[in-house]
Amino acid sequence: MRYKPSVGAQMSAPNVIPMADIMLVLLIIFMVVTPMLTKGLSVELAKVNNPTDMPDADKDDAIIVGVSMSGDVFLGSTKSDITQIADQVRDRIANKLDKTVFVKSDGRAKYGDVVKVVDEIRSAGVDNVGLITDRADQARRPPPPPVS
């Protein structure tokens, strides 16, 4: 007679604990990396009541010129001199069909600094200049009660 070893009990449900561990690690990685993905200069944008949506500003190849509160000018995330911004923008739009440049300015920046940047961009041959703003929070008041 032959000896037949006994087999232990089989587990019929899949073990999902390793998968949950991997998912938690991935979640932590994404939470750490996501704030680093902001494109260009981080500024407090001007608040407006009736903004126009500009979906092209979120594209990877969008040209964004930033103006900080102190008047510093950035092309993307690189600090630049205002006298060189026209040449740099001209180089970037040379091979593009859509010659739109977006200006991302701090709401507390001097108006004159922003106008100088827009003038330099326009002198580079840009067809359209878009100003990136935030929507103002409008707390709606309830209508007044009817007069009786």
Other CB atoms within 10 Å distance of the CB of residue 113: 19
Tell me the average pLDDT of the chain: 83
User: Which of 4-8, 42-46, 98-102 comes out lowest in average pLDDT?
Assistant: 4-8
Rounded CA gap, 90 and 78, in Å?
16
pLDDT of 109 above 80: yes
Instruction: Write the CATH number of the domain with boundaries 47-135.
Output: 3.30.420.270
pTM, entire model = 0.64
Other CB atoms within 10 Å distance of the CB of residue 42: 13
pLDDT at 120: 92
Domain residue extents for the chain = 47-135
Which band of pLDDT confidence, cut at 50, 70 and 90, is reported for residue 39? low
87 or 52, which is more confident: 87
